[in-house]
């Protein structure tokens, strides 16, 4: 199949794979790669892993990263590093409390 955007044509493929969340349902992905059925599951697993990385970064950015107006890369790197450390401490604490209390404490920080 081809898709035209701004006068340019792009070839694309649809990948249908069984859903990991619901039986009998499928997840649909589009790509500009020529993917064989044997490669489909591996490629969608890579998409899923990349999506998890993006989600974690978004969580750090919105919940743990202080706002900085500085354009100095050193200040911004320091703030980002502190945000990552605080996020990792929160995840570790959440994991340890879940195991100690046998409770689901949710995926978001309580504050």
Taking only the tens place, the pLDDT of each residue in 38-64 is 888 788 888 878 888 888 888 887 877
CA atoms within 13 A on the CB side of 39: 9
Convert the pLDDT of each residue in 83-95 to its tens digit: 889 888 988 888 8
The pLDDT assigned to 96 comes to 82
The answer on pLDDT for 111 being more than 50 is: no
| End-to-end CA separation in angstroms for the chain | 47
**In the chain, what are the domain boundaries?**
1-54, 65-111
Asked whether the whole model's pTM tops 0.85, one would answer: no
């Amino acid at each position: 199949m081809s898709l035209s955007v701004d006068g340019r044509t792009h070839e694309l493929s649809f990948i249908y794979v069984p859903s990991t969340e619901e039986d009998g349902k499928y997840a649909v992905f589009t790509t500009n790669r020529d993917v064989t059925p044997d490669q489909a599951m591996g490629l969608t697993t890579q998409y899923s892993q990349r999506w998890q990385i993006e989600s974690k970064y978004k969580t750090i950015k919105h919940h743990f990263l202080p706002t900085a107006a500085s354009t100095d890369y050193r200040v911004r790197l320091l703030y980002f590093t502190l945000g990552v450390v605080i996020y990792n401490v929160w995840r570790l604490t959440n994991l340890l409390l879940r195991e100690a209390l046998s409770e689901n404490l949710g995926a978001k920080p309580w504050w």
